[in-house]
């Protein structure tokens, strides 16, 4: 075991997989000798060589095409998109191409690609760096979308993502890269995709969250406990497909739920969670399922992040509405 930040856990997962499977290739803009703009691939080129870990020209669409082509030659590509706001440049390669690879060839070919990309607010990045665009990719059949919120989860989920034989979008929240350390096993381990994790048990209300919002929800749960409310916090971990079993079991226990996301209300995946709950557990509900989200504007100017991004206070306020409905 070692104390690791999330970014170290990610590097460690990449190292494990580069070692484990010679078909694993890591590439993107500045991921080689530079070790990535956030040091996520630090030391990997030195250890595994320029053949396995390499830089690309500055073109996201080309990176996506490269990943698809390398898949067709039996490789297991792990490309990086420097910031997920740049995903628009590569939407065709992701949604129009690799997501459909298996289907359009009737199973003849597959694309075992894991796209790593940072996103998320709270660190005053320039425009188009922090946008939460997981909702875009979550709506594309053929993709799985994974968003870890702890170093331990990040390592196990990334190894699972890389081993998955179909495309996975692995989104890394910028604010969580180095915000805390956690014990992470040094050896390889996996966490199944599509499995949520109950980060805190409770009986009065279920909070479903992912990414940085898990920590805001945990903070809110602590505060709410002081006021006598027992709150369960479920980290979705994979936002597509959802872990319906865990979600519904929690709602059936607490009978009240909210969904917390950093994305705007019209974006993200919160609406999907609400719909699944109403379709499957409406008779367990004692109150409507409410959402905590950002407002439906373009992502905030850096200086307005503090008033724009949802935080634990918003979670508390919405939780109380549901608790007192």
Among 50, 72, 306, 317, binds other proteins (CB under 8 A): 72
Backbone angles phi, psi at 208, to 5 degrees: -105, 125
Should residue 243 be labelled a site residue for other proteins when binding is judged by CB under 8 A? Answer: yes
- How many binding residues for other proteins (CB under 8 A)? 46
In this structure, the strands spanning 231-235 and 197-200 are antiparallel
Among 148, 194, 202, 211, binds other proteins (CB under 8 A): 194
Q: What is the DSSP letter of 324?
A: T
Should residue 190 be labelled a site residue for other proteins when binding is judged by CB under 8 A? Answer: no
Q: What is the DSSP letter of 84?
A: G
Neighbours of 175 (CB within 10 A): 19
Q: Identify whether 124 is a catalytic site residue.
A: no
Catalytic one of 129, 173, 215, 229: 129
SS3 content of the chain, % helix, strand, coil (to 5): 40, 20, 40
Q: How many residues does the chain have?
A: 325
Among 36, 85, 112, 211, binds other proteins (CB under 8 A): 112
Should residue 244 be labelled a site residue for other proteins when binding is judged by CB under 8 A? Answer: yes
Binding residues for other proteins restricted to 275-294, rule: CB under 8 A: none
Q: Which two tokens stand for residue 194?
A: 């599509």
Pick the closer one to other proteins by CB: 109 or 180.
109
Element (H, E) at 55: strand 53-55
Among 93, 114, 254, 311, binds other proteins (CB under 8 A): 93
Among 11, 45, 56, 261, binds other proteins (CB under 8 A): 56
Euclidean distance between CA atoms 303 and 105, whole angstroms: 48
CB of 65 to other proteins, least distance (A): 2
Should residue 250 be labelled a site residue for other proteins when binding is judged by CB under 8 A? Answer: no
Among 30, 42, 166, 225, binds other proteins (CB under 8 A): 166
Euclidean distance between CA atoms 26 and 34, whole angstroms: 13
Number of H helices, E strands in the chain: 12, 14
Should residue 210 be labelled a site residue for other proteins when binding is judged by CB under 8 A? Answer: no
Neighbours of 29 (CB within 10 A): 21
CB of 249 to other proteins, least distance (A): 13
Q: Which residues bind other proteins (CB under 8 A)?
A: 25, 51, 56-57, 59, 61-62, 64-75, 92-93, 96-97, 102-110, 112, 141-142, 144, 164-166, 194, 240-245
By annotation, the residues acting in catalysis are 129
């Amino acid at each position: 075991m070692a104390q690791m930040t999330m970014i170290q856990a990610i590097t460690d997962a990449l190292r494990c997989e580069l070692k484990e499977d010679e078909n694993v290739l890591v590439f993107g803009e500045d991921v080689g000798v530079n070790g990535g703009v956030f040091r996520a691939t630090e030391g990997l080129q030195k250890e595994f060589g320029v053949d396995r870990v390499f830089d690309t020209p500055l073109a996201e669409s080309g990176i996506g095409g490269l990943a698809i082509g390398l898949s067709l030659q039996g490789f297991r590509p792990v490309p990086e998109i420097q910031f997920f706001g740049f995903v628009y440049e590569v939407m065709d390669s992701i949604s129009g191409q690799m997501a459909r690879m298996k289907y359009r060839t009737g199973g003849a070919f597959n694309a075992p690609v894991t796209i790593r990309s940072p996103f998320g607010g709270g660190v005053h990045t320039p425009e188009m760096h922090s946008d939460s665009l997981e909702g875009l990719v979550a709506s594309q059949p053929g993709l799985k979308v994974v968003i870890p919120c702890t170093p331990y989860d990040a390592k196990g989920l990334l190894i699972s993502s890389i081993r998955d034989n179909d495309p996975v979008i692995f989104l890394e929240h910028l604010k969580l890269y180095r915000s805390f350390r956690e014990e992470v096993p040094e050896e390889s381990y996996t966490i199944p995709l599509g499995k949520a994790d109950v980060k805190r048990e409770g009986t009065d209300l279920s909070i479903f969250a992912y990414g940085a919002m898990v920590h805001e929800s945990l903070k809110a749960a602590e505060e709410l406990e002081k006021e006598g409310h027992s709150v369960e916090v479920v980290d979705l971990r994979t936002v597509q497909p959802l872990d319906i079993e865990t979600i519904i079991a929690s709602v059936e226990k607490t009978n009240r739920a909210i969904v917390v996301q950093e994305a705007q209300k019209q974006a993200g995946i919160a609406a999907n969670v609400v719909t699944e709950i109403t379709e499957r557990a409406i008779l367990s509900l004692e109150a409507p399922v409410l959402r905590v989200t950002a407002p439906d504007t373009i992502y905030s100017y850096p200086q307005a992040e503090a008033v724009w991004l949802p935080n634990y206070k918003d979670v508390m306020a919405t939780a109380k509405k549901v608790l007192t409905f």
